[in-house]
Amino acid sequence: MAQETNQTPGPMLCSTGCGFYGNPRTNGMCSVCYKEHLQRQQNSGRMSPMGTASGSNSPTSDSASVQRADATLNNCEGAAGSTSEKSRNVPVAALPVTQQMTEMSISREDKITSPKTEVSEPVVTQPSPSVSQPSSSQSEEKAPELPKPKKNRCFMCRKKVGLTGFDCRCGNLFCGLHRYSDKHNCPYDYKAEAAAKIRKENPVVVAEKIQRI
Instruction: Determine which helix (DSSP H) or strand (DSSP E) holds 174, and give its type and residue range.
Output: strand 173-174
Helix/strand/coil for 24:
helix
76 is in an annotated binding site: no
30 is annotated as contributing to ligand binding: yes
Domains of the chain: 2-93 (no CATH), 150-201 (4.10.1110.10)
Predicted model pTM = 0.24
**Distance between CA atoms of 63 and 72, rounded to whole angstroms?**
14
Summarize pLDDT for 74-106 with one digit per residue, the tens.
Answer: 665 555 555 444 444 444 444 455 565 666 666
Does 154 show up as a binding residue in the annotation?
A: yes
The greatest distance separating any two alpha carbons of the chain, rounded to the nearest whole angstrom, comes to 147
The pLDDT assigned to 19 comes to 73
Share of the chain above pLDDT 70, in %: 46
